[in-house]
Every structure is written in structure tokens, then in C-alpha cells.
Chains A and B, each alone.
Chain A
Amino acid sequence: MALLSFIVRRIASLILVLLAVSFLVYASVLLLPGDPVTAILGSEGYDPIVAAQLRHELGIGEPLPIAFAGWLERAIVGDLGTSVVLSTRTSISTLLMQRLPVTTELAVLTMVMAIAIGVLLGIVAALRRNTKLDVCVSVASLTSYSMPPFFRGILLILFFSIFIKIFPSGGYFNFFEDPVRNLTLMALPSLSLTLGLTGVITRFTRSSMIEAMEKEFITTATAKGLPERLIIFRHALRNALIPVVTIAGLQFGALMGGVVITETIFGLPGIGSLLVQGILERDYPVIQGATLFVTISFVLVNTAVDMLYSLIDPRVKIGGR
């Protein structure tokens, strides 16, 4: 069955990419000038025990393939090493797990809102093509994703935290403990990300819809006397959404970048802010752990989108090319 072979090939490709990514993340430490351990810990007065542990974790001194294999093995079972900087020498995987809910919530909130609003706006703009509404939507979309994510965040804080004191501008509260507080704190961060992502999705949905509406099978649908609602949603949209799904998956990567910045601005204890912290403190194991985590999430999301794509487009599902 063509679908099965497609899935198998996709998974093989996935494993290859994951291995390559892990290797690059692992090996990046070795690119530090001089001895990696010294470079990380600083050149004077570091704790030899810490150094020894770091040396072991990074597999320094061993041949590269073996060192990598060892690191990877430990990573797979969840041991990503320990933070060099934090006085409590917390395990990195613990850190990641603690911060995962924050980032996940931010990402999910943003994706859901952006897709819902973006697709709707895109359809409206496509149907009201070249009207004032369409132009407004296009320009607004372009402007919102031309703004740096941090700037969107800053403007939102300015308007909704400072000028009009609706939302607080920092901090985090666990959702399950206090949903309302959680959402008020997440409102501005996710809004700043949503504005950008919606811009991209709107533009793309619009152009995809316009293209679909000009296809010949829409003429057939009209000639069949189908009501406009059916022509738009059943015939045009089904075709138009297929490439939009792919774009949404790819935009997840940009979203990850935005998450990093947004968590930093709004003081959210997520994986993004962990990464930044790690870089500023030269805490390499943390940098590796966070980068690996974010990248693998992106790869998995893209693979899932690919699979989804093959399910909703019969041309891929059944065969052909």
C-alpha cells in the first residue's frame, strides 16, 4: 500500500534527522575554543568534582563516535546531564520537565488561536478580494509579522499593562492551581505571538483560497447549481487548506523562536527562557538540553504535519506521486 511505504520512508527520514540534529547539538560543545570543560567553567578556580562530572557527561577524551553514542544513550533514557551553573546542580531533564508545561501552554494557545483566526480572516479576505476590507487585512497581517516578536510584546505591555492596566506583564501561575490567574498572565504573551502567526496564516490562506476559487472544478460546482456556502466550504476550502496545513507546521519553527523571546520578556519560566539563561550563563549542558528539546519538538511536529497531509490529500494517500 502506497500509504504504508510513505509512512515507513518518512519515519526513516525522521530518525536520520533526529540523529543528525542530536549529533550537531552534542558536537557543538567541542567547537568551543580550547578545552571544552575549561571554556564552560571558566579558566580559574572551578570545582574539580564538577569538572570531572562534566568531562564524563560530555565524553571528553573519548573518540568522537563513542562519546556521542554514550551521550545519546543517556539522553534517550532521559539523562541530559546536570546544569553547571545552578548551585543545586539540578538535572537538566528535571529542569526541562518543570518548564515544559509553560512552553506547551504558550505554544498551544498561540497555535490554536492563530489558526482559528488566521484561516477565518484568510477566507473572508479571499472572498472580499480587492475590497477595502481585504486591503486592510493584508496590510495588517504584513505589519504584524514584520514586527519583531519582542516589539509586539513590548507594545502590548505598553498598552495593556501600563496605559490601560488590564493584564499583568510578568510571572506565571500554574493552570491547574488557578486557571483564571494563569490565563490573565498568559494573555499578553500568547497574544503577542498570535498576532504574528495569524498574519502569516491569514495571508497564506487568502492566496490559497483565491487560487482554489479560480480552479476549473469551481466552475463545475457553480454549473451544478450548488449553493455558495457549499462551493466555498466543501469544494474550495478543502483544496485550499491543504497547503495551509504545511505552512502551519513550518511556522511552528518560527513560533519556537518567538517563544524564546516572549518567555524572556514576560518572565515566563519556560524552556525558551531556560535556553537564553543558559547561553548568558554559559551553561552548556543546559544549552544542549534546551536546544535539543526545542528542535526535536519542531521535527516531530513537522513529521506529524507531513503525515496529516498525506491523510487529507487523497492524491498522496492513494498513490500517484
Chain B
Amino acid sequence: MRHNKSALIGTILFGAFVIMITIGPIVYTVNPFAVNTINKLAPPSLNDLFGTDLLGRDLFARSILGGEITLYISTVSVIFSLALGVPLGLIAGYMKGMVDEVIMRIMDILLAFPGLVLALLIVAVLGIGINNAIIAIGFTGIPIFARIVRGVVLKISEMDYVEAARALGFNRWRIMIRHVLPNVSSVIILQFTLSLAAAILTEAALSFLGLGAPAPLQSLGGIVEEGFPFLQNGWWYAVLPGIVITIAVLGPNFLGDGLRDLLDPKLRGSS
């Protein structure tokens, strides 16, 4: 399956990001909190790979830390969306009727809010913080999981072989597990990668506005926000962490692309 170029590139990019934030601290032992005002706003060098910030702290070390926080918040948010969205989708697709209507209406209402705006509203109400950011981003991601899972369940339950199984008297639950679940899992995995990319973007936006993880544990977006005023004389401050974010998003996006190509021709049954 690795001959799929997109999936390969995605894995490499995302892998690079993950390696940076996991192995990074072991290899690059600079303290991200170490203030050194003499060396503030220094350009990238061998000592400070990303340069230093306004307090002289090493930006690469801060980016590693920021990357960890970005990944943490994004991943947990998507798991949150999944944990709520998938069961809702399963119930809606399986029960159909009134239950389906009500659940989908609620999803529609959630979807009526533009993504970032909903997250902003939730943060405005709950306050700034890592957990609140997770909840905010998580809520934005619930409807799509619900919709996709529901779609798969509906499609499967209409397939001839499910009707055949029912006609043969098989237990409803057994049908669900043996037929629905495998199909649903491939779709969920695909959506996980795409939602992860979206979550990282939303998290970056929130922290850029100062509404994400608070200092001193800012995520990458927060570091970019700090660096923005210094764009003229210290472009590395804002740009380099920004590139890291981009790589972190490109990874899952490419991966999702590759996965989608894998799933699609299978579904279409090419000759």
C-alpha cells in the first residue's frame, strides 16, 4: 500500500513532525523557558536553530514544546469529536425515523456555526485554557463524524446482503458488528486524518488570537502571535513556527488524500 505516493508523503511529513516533538527534547536539550535578554531576537544560528524570541529564549526549543501542545490539543479534540460523533451517527443511522431526525437536526444546528466562530463562542463562555480549547475544537468536529458514520450505516443497511442476512433470521446486533463495523472503521480512520488537520488549524487560529493554551505553555500558534509584531526585523520568530504548523497539517492532509484514493477505487470496483 505504500506505493501510494500521497500516503507516503503524508506519513513522512507527519512523522517528521512527531519525531521533532518527541525525539527533539532528547537531542536538543536547550531549555525553552531559559530567558536570556542579552541574546534577544537573534536570527537562526547553529546554537539557536530557529533564533531567539523577545526574551532571548530559544525558539526551536519553544517550538518543540509548542508542537507538543498543538498535537496534544488537536488529537484529544478529535478523539472527543469521534467519541461523541460516532455513537450519535450509529444510533441515527440504525434507528432511523424520529431519532434520526432529531439527532441530525442537532448536528445541522452545530454545523450552522462556522467552525472557528463556534470554537470562539465556546471559549468565550468557558474561558481560556487547554481543556476549554479541547472542548471548543472538539464540538466543532462532532457533526462530521456523526454524518459520515450515519451515511455508512444507512448505505450498508440497504445493501442486499444485509437484507438477505435479516431474511435468514440473523440477529440485528450480529449484522451490525459483522457487516457495519468494518465498513465504518475505514471511513472513521479517513475522517480522523482530515479532522486532525482541521483541528490543528483551528487550534492554531485560537492560540494565534490569544485564546488557546495560555503562556508560558503556548502552542505554535501562540508563538507566531508573539512573533508577528517583529516581522520586519525578526521574520524567523513568526515564520519558522508557522512552517512547523503547516507541516503538521500537510501530513494528515496528504495521508487522508492517499487513504481516500485507496478507499475509493475499491468502492467503485475498478476493473
Q: Give yes or no for direct A-B contact (beta carbon below 8 Å).
A: yes
| A291 and B117 within 8 A (CB) | yes
Whether A21 lies near B201 (C-beta < 8 A) is: no
A299 in contact with B117 given A32-B125, A158-B239 (CB within 8 Å): no
Residue of B nearest to A149 (CB): B205
Quick one: CB contact mask for A29-70 with B, threshold 8 Å, 1 for yes? 101100000000000000000000000000000000000000
Flag whether B171 is at the interface (Cβ < 8 A).
no
Q: Which residues from 220 to 264 on chain A have a C-beta closer than 8 Å to any C-beta of chain B?
A: 252-258, 260-261, 264
Which single member of A24, A146, A155, A265 contacts B250 (CB below 8 Å)?
A146
Report whether A279 and B120 are in contact in the complex, using a CB–CB cutoff of 8 Å: yes
- Assembled-state Cα–Cα distance A157/B105 (Å): 42
**A304 on the interface (CB 8 Å rule)?**
no
Measured in the bound complex, the distance between the Cα atoms of B20 and A158 in whole Å is 26
CB of B108 within 8 Å of the partner chain: yes
1/0 contact trace for A148-161 toward B, CB 8 Å? Answer: 11110011011000
For the residues of B in contact with A, the DSSP-based class is helix
By the criterion CB–CB under 8 Å, are A146 and B208 in contact?
no
Contact A150 B113 (CB under 8 A): no
CB-contact partner of A154 in B114, B120, B205, B238, under 8 A: B238
Interface residues of B in 102-153 (CB under 8 A from A): 105, 108-109, 112-117, 120-121, 123-126
A155: B residues at CB distance < 8 A: 239, 242
- Roughly how many angstroms separate A254 CA and B118 CA in the complex, as a whole number? 11
A20: chain B residues within 8 A (beta carbon): 109, 112
- Cβ of A45 to closest chain B Cβ, rounded Å: 21
CB neighbors of B among A110-134 (8 A): none
- Kindly state whether residue B68 has any CB partner on chain A within 8 Å: no
For chain B, residues 219 to 266, give those with C-beta under 8 angstroms from any C-beta of chain A.
Answer: 221, 224, 228, 231-232, 235, 238-239, 242, 245-246, 249-250, 253-254, 257
Contact of A142 among B121, B238, B245, B254 (CB under 8 A): B254
B253 partner residues in chain A, CB cutoff 8 A = 142, 145-146
Does B61 reach chain A (CB closer than 8 Å)? no
Q: Does A108 contact B (CB under 8 A)?
A: no
Q: Does B204 contact A (CB under 8 A)?
A: yes
Q: Complex Cα distance A256/B190, Å?
A: 26
Tell me the bound Cα distance from A21 to B108 in angstroms: 10
A257 surroundings in chain B (CB, below 8 A)? 114-117, 202, 205
Residue of A nearest to B204 (CB): A148
A-B pairs with lowest CB-CB distance, top 6: A257-B116, A253-B114, A256-B114, A151-B242, A146-B249, A148-B204
Q: Which residues of A contact B (CB under 8 A)?
A: 13, 16-17, 20-21, 24-25, 28-29, 31-32, 142-143, 145-151, 154-155, 157-158, 162, 252-258, 260-261, 264-265, 275-276, 278-280, 282, 284, 287, 291, 294-295, 298-299, 302
18 interchain pairs (CB within 8 A)? A20-B112, A142-B250, A142-B253, A147-B242, A150-B208, A151-B242, A154-B239, A158-B231, A162-B235, A254-B116, A256-B116, A257-B205, A260-B209, A279-B124, A280-B209, A294-B114, A294-B117, A302-B112
Taking A254-B115, A287-B121, A298-B112 as known contacts, 20 extra A-B pairs with beta carbons closer than 8 A to each other, sorted by chain A number, are A20-B112, A28-B125, A146-B253, A147-B249, A148-B221, A149-B205, A150-B205, A151-B224, A151-B246, A155-B239, A158-B231, A162-B231, A254-B116, A276-B209, A278-B124, A280-B209, A282-B124, A294-B117, A298-B114, A302-B112
